[in-house]
Amino acid sequence: MGKKSQKYNVLMVCVGNICRSPIAEAVMRDVISREGLQKEWHVESAAIEGWHSGCLPDERALKVLARHNITYHNCARIVNSDDFFKFDYIFAMDRSNLAALKRIAPSYSTAKMFLLGDFGLKPDERIIEDPYYDLGEKPFEKIYQQCIVACESFLKQARQKEIF
C-alpha cells in the first residue's frame, strides 16, 4: 500500500481548545483506531488563543464524547511555531481559525492547513461553529457528527492517495 514506517501527525485547532478541537481530536483518534492505523497516525489539538491553556475541555464536550464511548483527558494548549513542522496536517474548525493559523505560520512551514469541514461535509455544513456560548449539549453533538463525517472522509482520501 505505500510506506508503512512513517507516522503522520494531525493537529486540530480552534480558538480555545476546549470545545471543537478536542472533539475533533478525539473523533479522529477513534476513527484511526477503528481502522487499526494507530501506528501510522498521531493526533493532537491546540488553541489559537491561550485563555484556557491547561484546562480540560468544556464539560458539554466531554459528555458528548462519553455518550459515544470516547474518553478524553488532554488539556488545552496554544499552537506554537514548532507545530507547523511537527504536524503534517493542521485542521482549523472555521475560516477565522484558518486565517489565524496562516498568519502565525512561519513562512517555511511544512504543514498542510485545511478546514476540517472541507472533507466530506456539504458546502453549507463545512464550518464547524463555536458552541461555547450556546446552551446545552445539542451544538456539541452536532460538532461530533460533523467531525465523524470529516475525519472518516479525510482518512479515506489520505489512504486512497497512499500517503503512508
Q: How far is CA 60 from CA 2, 12, 97, 135, 142, in A?
A: 40, 18, 21, 9, 12
d(CA 54, CA 76): 5
Respond yes or no: is residue 14 known to be catalytic. yes
At residue 48, what are phi and psi to the nearest 5 degrees?
Answer: -75, -45
Do 6 and 164 meet the contact criterion of CB atoms below 8 Å apart?
A: yes
Choice among 20, 29, 58, 147 that is catalytic: 20
Shortest CA distance to 64 belongs to which of 153, 154, 134, 13?
A: 134
Choice among 58, 130, 147, 151 that is catalytic: 130
d(CA 112, CA 99): 13
Respond yes or no: is residue 147 known to be catalytic. no
Give Rg (Cα) of the chain: 15
Choice among 14, 19, 147, 151 that is catalytic: 14
At residue 162, what are phi and psi to the nearest 5 degrees?
Answer: 50, 55
Respond yes or no: is residue 159 known to be catalytic. no
**Known catalytic residues?**
14, 20, 130
